[in-house]
Amino acid sequence: MARILLMLILVAVTNCAASNLLSVVLVYRHGDRIPKGFALKDIYQDRTYWASEPGELTNIGKNQHYNLGKWLRNRYNNFLPATYHKSDIYVRSTSADRCLMSAAVNLAGLYPPVNSQVWNSEIKWMPIPIHSLPAKDDGLLKMGKACPEFELKYKRLLRNENFTKIDQSNAELYQFLSENLGKKIERFSDIELHYDTMRIEAEHHLKLPEWTNKVLSNGNKVFPEEMKKWADLAYETPTYNFELARLSTGIFLDTLASQFEGTVNNDTLKKLADKMVMFSAHKSTLSAITHTLGVFRLAPFAGALFFELRSDLNNGKIYVNTLFKTENDLEHLQISGCEVNCDFKKFLNIIKPYRMMEKQWKSECLSVASEITLSKISFLSLIYIIWFNMFS
């Protein structure tokens, strides 16, 4: 493992030394947070165990992103000026508090004020704009969760034969979990929230109940092995097929491609920033992108996915590097159908089928909602006609 890690680092150093960095797009997961929800029988749902409300960023999470921001400053110091300029960087976050706060502390690490930007000697921080949209409108980062058409197709997927068989074979596990959680488990996708909650509790040194240690007939303990297996699957299914992947990642991949196209062609209308575009989002965001690109990864807290647009100093070839960072590792990813140093035109061809401009995405996503609304109107009209004929 150590040898592989060393080789990855050497590849990264070699690539950086022999190329010119043109643009960076990165998307990261928020930092450590309090569990989003608790089962009825979870004794740790009591607020005395936590410093804030469910789902909120912890002090650990704040430090994770502050450190990531400092790491970004170190990696990109020769590319991204230390003095903040609006044209250099564009930052967008989902509307979730934990993502907005993660972006804020990340930027504190990336842009400690220097020279004329020191505005108060008592605080080594400067305000930097973070853009956001309500979750219901955020097809870029909330992806399929903001798309009624996606939700319809996803529900159909979970009812197909393959997933029905999974649920049938897990009936005994679901019953066991339902009894011990105090929450009915009917599908494998229902497990993810509770696995996530227990994983965070364990990481915060809270003792889990004895039932979690039960060994199943396949040799797995209920937690973490068996629950993790089905929780992980729940992150693959939202991009399980082309239609779902396109509705999930289409806007993001179009935004990524447009940023790089604008950089290569010097088209300011296509670019969000001259140097770096930063997105603060969720585990589901990164898993959807990596699964669509054939390099599925589950991001830990403050895990980050990078797309670096580079030009080879020897031959001028423009290519894309895709990297995945956890707290201790930086991994070069080889997306499906391409090389590690993925030729830019080839990269564009790979993601082309998925790309969707926001206007097109909205049109396709809301079509099902419009049909449902029209159906309701037609039904109400029919009731009115019957009532009118009966009593007129």
pLDDT score of 18: 82
For 319-364, the pLDDT digits (tens) are 999 999 999 999 999 999 999 999 999 999 999 999 999 999 999 9
pLDDT score of 16: 54
Q: How far apart are CA 255 and CA 244, in angstroms?
A: 18
For 34-61, the pLDDT digits (tens) are 999 999 999 999 999 999 999 999 999 9
What values do phi and psi take at 314, rounded to 5?
-85, -40
pLDDT score of 367: 80
Q: How far apart are CA 66 and CA 330, in angstroms?
A: 17
Q: What is the mean pLDDT of residues 19-43?
A: 97
For residue 282, give the nearest of 254, 320, 252, 241 by alpha carbon: 252
Q: How far apart are CA 295 and CA 335, in angstroms?
A: 6
pLDDT over 60 at 73, yes or no:
yes
pLDDT score of 111: 98
Per-chain mean pLDDT for the chain: 92
State the pairing for strand pair 342-343/276-281. Answer: unpaired
Please, which contacts does 305-308 make with residues 24 or more away whose CB atoms are closer than 8 Å?
Answer: 305/26, 305/27, 305/28, 306/24, 306/25, 306/26, 307/24, 307/25, 307/26, 307/256, 307/260, 308/21, 308/23, 308/24
pLDDT over 90 at 14, yes or no:
no
CB-based contacts of 3: which residues, under 8 Å, 6+ apart?
Answer: none
* Structure tokens belonging to residue 142: 């909330």
Domains present along the chain, CATH in parentheses: 2-145+239-354 (3.40.50.1240), 148-237 (no CATH)
Task: State the first-to-last Cα distance of the chain, in angstroms, to the nearest integer.
Answer: 82
- Integer-rounded Cα Rg, in Å, for the chain is 24
> How sure is the predictor about 29, in pLDDT bands with cuts at 50, 70 and 90?
very high
For residue 100, give the nearest of 50, 28, 203, 24 by alpha carbon: 28
Q: What is the mean pLDDT of residues 125-147?
A: 95
> How sure is the predictor about 368, in pLDDT bands with cuts at 50, 70 and 90?
low
pTM of the predicted structure, to 2 decimals: 0.90
For 240-297, the pLDDT digits (tens) are 999 999 999 999 999 999 999 999 999 999 999 999 999 999 999 999 999 999 999 9
